Amino acid sequence: MNRAREPIIALSGVRKTYEPEREDSYVLRGVDLEIGASESVSLMGASGSGKSTLLNLIGGLDRDYEGEARVLGRDLRRLDDRELSRFRNLSIGFVFQSFHLLPHLTVRQNVSLPASFNRRRSAASVAGLVGDALERVKLTHKADSLPTRLSGGERQRVAIARALFNQPSILLCDEPTGSLDQRTGAMILDLFGELNATAGITLLLVTHDPGVAAEAARIIKLEDGRVIADSLSLDQKENSR
Ligand SMILES: Nc1ncnc2c1ncn2[C@@H]1O[C@H](COP(=O)(O)OP(=O)(O)OP(=O)(O)O)[C@@H](O)[C@H]1O
Ligand SMILES: [Mg+2]
């Protein structure tokens, strides 16, 4: 029998409030969503519509929700703290608008930060993973620089290399081009496209910019904590004609 593959992200009836004591304070109001392995998806919606809340939940940063969230086949709420941090560290890469690099550490040290949560890795394997990640973002030549010496686009590439360190299955990006100029942003988007196409990384990208959103194959729109649209992006439709 030809059974459909289980989606890599599956949300069903997900609701979330930050103020449970207040009535009608839900910021996610029943989200049903399935994303398959190796998909590239943009998440759009007005400020306050719940995009970051949803991303945090999928990434295991927030377990305080109602409904069911399965990521990589695991019910996130059933994981204990140790399992959850292991899941976050090994399976999920986060990329944020403001890079979140540590300014007093070199590029190489920033990229190897995830190793500090997994003491079983040898120094040689850490060095190898840092090398691979920096190569992917084409920053090998900046390994010993401090982030303050880099351009915005380069800083974001360091943050992406750090997110790639543990070779995650899913990359969650919250407005990753929001503080970059258009040209630099386009380079970062090309990089995501390449990681999706060549490494098969599942990409979920929050953005306000319709041009950025169209770079993904599928666009999901949130309004007031609900999915109000879910469709192939225009580029994708044209390609399939
Ligand atoms: N830690 C928090 N405590 C209380 N309320 C929060 C918290 N984080 C978010 N909220 C509220 O939840 C709602 C959704 O916020 P969220 O950050 O998910 O929106 P967003 O779609 O990412 O918006 P933006 O585009 O501005 O980043 C907002 O009304 C926000 O004020
Ligand atoms: Mg947000």
Question: For residue range 88-104, what is the model confidence (pLDDT) as tens digits?
Answer: 999 999 999 999 999 99
Of the CA atoms within 13 Å of residue 69, those in its CB half-sphere come to 22
Determine which residue's CA is closest to atom 8 belonging to ligand 1.
53
Of the CA atoms within 13 Å of residue 195, those in its CB half-sphere come to 32
User: CA dist 56 to 4, 53, 62, 127, Å?
Assistant: 27, 5, 6, 29
Q: What is the pLDDT of residue 4?
A: 55
Q: In the predicted model, is pLDDT for residue 230 greater than 80?
A: yes
Find the 172 Cα to ligand 2 centroid distance in Å.
12
Ligand that lies nearest to the alpha carbon of residue 43, given by its number in the listed order? 1
* CA 92/CA 84 separation, integer angstroms: 11
Confidence band for 6, pLDDT divided at 50, 70 and 90: confident
Ligand that lies nearest to the alpha carbon of residue 56, given by its number in the listed order? 1
Q: In the predicted model, is pLDDT for residue 234 greater than 50?
A: yes
Distant-in-sequence, close-in-space partners of 205: CB < 8 Å, separation ≥ 6: 40, 41, 42, 43, 173, 176, 192, 212, 213, 215, 216
Strands 226-232 and 92-96: unpaired
Q: In the predicted model, is pLDDT for residue 225 greater than 90?
A: yes
Which whole number is the average pLDDT over 121-132? 93
Determine which residue's CA is closest to atom 9 belonging to ligand 1.
53
For residue 50, give the ligand 1 atom closest to its CA: 18
Ligand that lies nearest to the alpha carbon of residue 208, given by its number in the listed order? 1
Ligand 1 pocket by Cβ (under 6 Å): 18, 27, 45, 47-53
Query: Is there a contact between 144 and 108 (Cβ–Cβ < 8 Å)?
Result: yes
Find the 174 Cα to ligand 2 centroid distance in Å.
7
Percent share of the chain, pLDDT over 70:
95
Q: What is the pLDDT of residue 236?
A: 63
Confidence band for 240, pLDDT divided at 50, 70 and 90: low
Find the 45 Cα to ligand 2 centroid distance in Å.
9
Q: In the predicted model, is pLDDT for residue 2 greater than 60?
A: no
pLDDT, tens digit, for every residue of 156-196? Answer: 999 999 999 999 999 999 999 999 999 999 999 999 999 99
Confidence band for 121, pLDDT divided at 50, 70 and 90: confident
Strands 170-174 and 92-96: parallel
Share the mean pLDDT of the chain. Answer: 93
Q: Which fold has domain 9-98+171-239?
A: Rossmann fold (3.40.50)
Find the 148 Cα to ligand 2 centroid distance in Å.
25
Determine which residue's CA is closest to atom 25 belonging to ligand 1.
47
Query: Is there a contact between 137 and 195 (Cβ–Cβ < 8 Å)?
Result: no
Q: In the predicted model, is pLDDT for residue 43 greater than 60?
A: yes
Q: In the predicted model, is pLDDT for residue 59 greater than 60?
A: yes
Q: Which residues surround ligand 2, an ion (CB under 5 A)?
A: 52
